[in-house]
Structures are given as C-alpha cells and as structure tokens.
Amino acid sequence: MREKYGIDAPGVVRTFAALGVVLTVVSGFVYALANAWWAYVIATVLLLTALTLLTQSLWMVYSSLVGKRRVWERALADLPLRGDERVIEVGPGRGAVLVTAARRIPSGRLAGVDIWRPQDQSGNGREALLANARAAGVADRVDAHDGDMRQLPFPDNDFDLALASLAIHNLPPADRAGAVTELARVVRPGGHIVILDFEATAGYADALRAAGASDVRVSGLHWSMHPPTRVVTAEASRPSRTAS
Ligand SMILES: C[S@@+](CC[C@H](N)C(=O)[O-])C[C@H]1O[C@@H](n2cnc3c(N)ncnc32)[C@H](O)[C@@H]1O
C-alpha cells in the first residue's frame, strides 16, 4: 500500500478551484459579447481573478503534497538529533510530518495527538495516520492519541522533540499561546520545539520565550508552500544553575 497524505484545507482548495473555473467561463462569455471598451475591462478583470484563484488552488495542492515535506525535511535535518528521540506532534493529521520524522529518527518513538478535523485535511483520521505509518514501515514506533493540543495527555518533560505543522493557527487566537506553552511543557530541558505555520509565528516565538525556551528563531518565508510559511525553532528551557 502507498502512503497518501491528503490535501490541507480541502474546502478552501475546492472553493478557489470552482470559483476559478466559473469566472473563466463568465469572462469568456463577456469577451464574446463585448462591444464596448469597459466590457473588455470587466472580462479582463474576471479572467485575472480566475487565474489568481486557480493558481492559488494548484499552489495549495503542491504545498500539501510536496512543499510541506521539503520544508520539514530541511527543518529536521537542521536539528542536532541522535536518532533515538521521543517525539510528539500535535495535529499530525494523516502523518506527513510524523512519518517524515520517523524516517529521520530511526530508533525514535513518535506520538501524534489530534482531534482529526475533516475540514483541516482531506481524509483526516487516526486510521489514515496509522495506515501511512504501516505503508512507510514505521508503524511499530508511531502511536496515535485522540486529544486536544491545549491539554496534552502527557507529563512534563516527556519528549525530546515537539512538532506542530499547520495546526496551531486552527485554534482561536486567545488559545494559541497556551498551546505553545503546553508544547514546551512536555519537552525535556535541552530538547527542541519546531512549529511551522503561515500566521501568528511571531506570537509563537513570544510564547516560547515566555515559557523559558532559549535560542528561539523564526525563519524567513517558505514560498514552496501556500500560504507561505515560517518555521519557529527553540530549545526547551534548561534548569538554571545555582551557585554553590
Ligand atoms: C492542516 S492539518 C495539518 C496536519 C499535519 N500536521 C500536516 O502538516 O500534514 C491541521 C491538523 O490540526 C488538527 N487540529 C486542529 N485543532 C486541533 C486541536 N485543538 N488539537 C489537536 N489537533 C488539532 C486537525 O485535526 C488537523 O489534523
């Protein structure tokens, strides 16, 4: 069986594509019937809007299937990994990122915690994640948990690495900093936190600093994804040394 990871925000992709097709047809009719300069202007505006919508829907499909995994492969390659880390991803969906991490961390143990919302990813579900883990040959090291990222069912310092990909922006703005703090809570001192998203990344960085994380960095924009994303990385707080 092949791995299949689905499309992010499928409703938005479908709406952009459908509107793009409808506006292309309407602009064709307006061009055909136009007999004044302003009618040509309207047809041209309709056509440009249609092309913009179609381009965005195709770019979002590329982002889900190719761009996202490339950005994550680079982000994981930049981490100082031993290869046996315990990893959590909040909102893993069908597992594109969790399975990429499992491949890069060959003796690691990985947990995904999700509420599996169908509007966030096509075919979303814990079974889809486990099927992809089986197809990738990493199912013995991947666990799927039903749960909300705002209240993770794990003790403090339980993981070496925490990941979130296009997940935290789904929360109401007032809840996002709390979810970032929760991520930092479950990572051991000296472990790492990596968050990819297309909005609110400066706020995630602030929440990580407030949680005591160090070396907090926000990347430039990654244009292979749509909307373009940034990656926030941090090291979880180490216990402060007290003078003896
Ligand atoms: C756009 S999908 C991204 C999936 C995956 N991280 C990836 O990049 O392929 C967002 C995911 O966040 C999950 N999610 C949304 N709100 C959540 C919450 N409060 N707690 C846990 N997961 C949540 C959704 O169910 C969905 O699986």
**Helix (H) and strand (E) counts for the chain?**
7, 7
Q: What is 81-235's CATH topology?
A: Rossmann fold (3.40.50)
112 lines ligand 1 (CB under 6 A): no
Return the ligand 1 atom nearest residue 72 CA: 8
91 lines ligand 1 (CB under 6 A): yes
Question: Which of 13, 117, 175 best tests ligand 1's pocket when mutated (most atoms within 8 Å of CB)?
Answer: 117
| Strands of 214-218's sheet in order across | 142-146, 109-114, 86-90, 159-165, 187-197, 230-235, 214-218
117 lines ligand 1 (CB under 6 A): yes
* DSSP state, residue 229: B
Return the ligand 1 atom nearest residue 68 CA: 8
The list of the chain residues with pLDDT below 50 reads 242-244
pLDDT computed for residue 192 by the predictor: 98
Centroid of ligand 1 to alpha carbon of 203 (angstroms): 18
- Residue pLDDT, tens place only, 66-119: 999 999 999 999 999 999 999 999 999 999 999 999 999 999 999 999 999 999
Return the ligand 1 atom nearest residue 163 CA: 6
Q: Taking Cα atoms as reference points, which of 191, 184, 216 lies closest to residue 86?
A: 191
3-state DSSP percent of the chain in helix, strand and coil, to 5: 45, 20, 35
pLDDT computed for residue 243 by the predictor: 40
DSSP H stretches of helix in 84-172: 96-104, 126-135
11 lines ligand 1 (CB under 6 A): no
| Residues 116, 94, 232, 142, CA torsion sign | positive
pLDDT computed for residue 237 by the predictor: 84
pLDDT computed for residue 140 by the predictor: 98
pLDDT computed for residue 240 by the predictor: 57
Question: Which of 5, 72, 152, 170 best tests ligand 1's pocket when mutated (most atoms within 8 Å of CB)?
Answer: 170
For residue 199, give both structure tokens. Answer: 């909005």
Centroid of ligand 1 to alpha carbon of 114 (angstroms): 6
Return the ligand 1 atom nearest residue 6 CA: 9
27 lines ligand 1 (CB under 6 A): no
pLDDT computed for residue 244 by the predictor: 40
pLDDT computed for residue 27 by the predictor: 97
**CB-CB contact of 189 with 218 (8 Å):** no
